[in-house]
Amino acid sequence: MILASLGEVDFGIFNVIGGSIAMMGFLNSTLANATQRFMSYAEGKGDEQNKTKIFNISFILHLIIAAATILLLLSIMPILFDKFLNIPADRIWTAKIVYFTLIFSTILTIVNVPYDAVLNAHENMFYYAIIGVIESLLKLGIAYVCVYSDGNRLLIYSILMATLPLITLSIMKVYCHKHYTECRFALRKSWDFGVVKSIAKFSGWNFLTAISSLFTVQGLSVVLNHFFGTVLNAAQGIANQVNGQLSAFSTNMMKALNPVIVKRTASADSESVSAVTFSGSKFSAILILFFAIPVCIKMEYILSVWLEEVPKWTIVFCQLQLIQTVIVQMANPIATAIYGKGDIKGYAIWKSIMNIMPIILSIIAFSSEGSPIWLYLSLIMFMGLGGDIVILYYGKLKCNISPSLFLLNVFFPVLGISAVMIAFGIIFDYILPYQNVFSSVVCGIMTTIGLIISMFTFGLTFSEKLIIQSLIAAFSKRFH
C-alpha cells in the first residue's frame, strides 16, 4: 500500500534516509540491554533502592547519549546530502525533512531506553502485546492517510511515522511511572559515582556495538543508493519490512527470555546457562523458519499479490535477508549471556569490527561493478557468520558455553530442520506448480509437517520435547 502510494523513487528515498526509523527498535533494544542487565540483577535481589538508583543514572546517561547523537547527525548532514546520496534534485528538500524526522525519532528512542529496560526486567510481555496491536493499527492508519492524500505523500508519511514513536513511547513512560516504584526521579539521592562508572563503562561498550550495527545497516543503504539509485533502496526497504514481520514472534520471544538468561548468568551455573541459551537459540531460529521458508518458496507470488509492481532484485533481497536473520538469531541468546557477565570490552570491539566490515566489502564489490547481492552476501559473511564466531568465542571465554555443544545442539539441528522443510515445500511446489492462494497454503502446510517431523525425530532434545508437550497439554485444556 505504501509503495503504491509513494512510488518506487519516494519509497526508496524514505528507506535510504528515513529507514533508520525502522531501525530504532533495534537500537532501543540493544541499548536497553545495558540498563536491563543491572536492573535484572537488582530485581533478583529485590533491592528497590538500587533499582531506583540504576533507573535515574541510566536516564541521565542516555540524555547525554541523545545530545551527542544530535550533534553527530547534524554534523554529517551536509556531507551526506552533498557528496553521497543519489536523490533527484526536485526531492532534495523533502529528503532533508525526512532526515530531520529521523533525528527526532532517534532522540525519542534513546531517551526512553531506561523505560524499555524496566519493562524487560519485569518481563512484562502483556504490555508489549498491547502496544504492538496499537502500533500496528496506527501504521495502518498512516498508510490509509497516505493513499488518500493529494499532497506531498513522502513528507506526510515521514512526519506521521516520526510521531508514531512519540505516541508509543509516551504511553510507555506513563505506564512505567504508574506501575513501577523504581521509575521515579530522585537524581540527587540516586547519584552514586561507583554505579555511574559501572553503568557508563558497560553502556559505552554496548553502545559501540549498537551504533556500529546501525551505522552499517544505514550505511549500506547509502552505498546502495550511491551506486544503483533509489529503486534498489525500495527493494531493500521491502526486504526489511518482510524480514521485520516474519521475525516478530522470534524477537518477542527473546524479549521474554533475555531477563531469564541474565538471572541464570548471575547464578554462575554454567550448565543452566548453556541449557537455556541453547534452547532459546534453537526455538528463536525455528520460529523464523516456520514463517520464512514457505514465504521464500512462494515469494514471487506473495510479492505480486502484495505489491502492484515488484521492484527489481526484491525477491532475492528478501530471501537473503531472511537467511541473514536466521544466522544472527541462532547466537543471540549467547550474546545475552555474555552481557550478563558484564565484562564486554573485548566482545564489543570484535563484534563492532564484524559489524563494520560489510560496508567495506560492499564498496569494493560495487566499485568493481559487482552485483547488488554483494550487499547481503557481505552481511551474511561478517555480521552473520563472523558475528556468530565472535559470540561463540566469548561465550566460551566468559560463560563456559561450549562451541562444540552449540554446533551439536543448535546449529546442526536447525540446519537439518531447514533442509527437511525446504525439501517438503519444494517437492509439493513442483507437484503443484501454480502461483495462487491454494498452492501457497499447501506449501505452508507441507513445510509445517516437515518442521514437526524433523523437530521430533532429531531437532529437539528430550527436555525440549517435554516443554513442547506440556505447552500443548496446557493449551488443549483451555478447550475442554
Confidence band of 231 (pLDDT split at 50, 70, 90): confident
Angle at 250 between CA 128 and CA 339, to 5 degrees: 85
Tell me the three state secondary structure of residue 236: helix
State CA 474 to chain mean position distance: 30
State CA 82 to chain mean position distance: 30
479, pLDDT greater than 80: no
**Cβ-proximal residues to 324 (8 Å cutoff; 6+ apart), any chain:** 376, 379, 380, 383, 384
For residues 86-102, average pLDDT: 80
pLDDT tens digits, one per residue of 244-297: 778 777 777 777 777 778 777 766 667 788 888 998 899 989 989 999 999 999
Q: Which of 404, 361, 411, 402 is nearest to 381 (CA)?
A: 361
Angle at 403 between CA 401 and CA 409, to 5 degrees: 90
Confidence band of 421 (pLDDT split at 50, 70, 90): very high
> For residues 332 and 382, what is the distance between their CA atoms, to the nearest angstrom?
15
Confidence band of 154 (pLDDT split at 50, 70, 90): confident
Angle at 35 between CA 31 and CA 37, to 5 degrees: 105
Residue type at position 1: M
pLDDT of res. 8: 58
DSSP-derived secondary structure for 114-142: HHHHHHHHTT-HHHHHHHHHHHHHHHHHH
pLDDT of res. 389: 96
> For residues 118 and 200, what is the distance between their CA atoms, to the nearest angstrom?
17
Look up residue 459 and give its DSSP letter. Answer: I
DSSP-derived secondary structure for 343-403: --HHHHHHHHHHHHHHHHHHHHHHHTT--TTHHHHHIIIIIIIIHHHHHHHHHHHHH---H
Task: State in Å, rounded, how far the first CA of the chain is from the last one.
Answer: 42
Whose cell is 542487565? That residue is 37
What pTM, to 2 d.p., does this model score?
0.77
**Cβ-proximal residues to 54 (8 Å cutoff; 6+ apart), any chain:** 35, 38, 39, 42, 182, 195, 199
> For residues 393 and 395, what is the distance between their CA atoms, to the nearest angstrom?
5
Helices (H) and strands (E) in the chain, counts: 21, 0
Could you tell me if 358 and 220 are in contact, meaning their C-beta atoms sit under 8 angstroms apart?
yes
Hey, what's the cell of 360? 567495506
Angle between helical axes of 314-341 and 20-45 (0-180°, round to 10): 20
Tell me the three state secondary structure of residue 310: coil
Q: Which of 168, 328, 354, 356 is nearest to 254 (CA)?
A: 328
For residues 304-333, average pLDDT: 87
> For residues 224 and 232, what is the distance between their CA atoms, to the nearest angstrom?
7
For residues 295-301, average pLDDT: 89
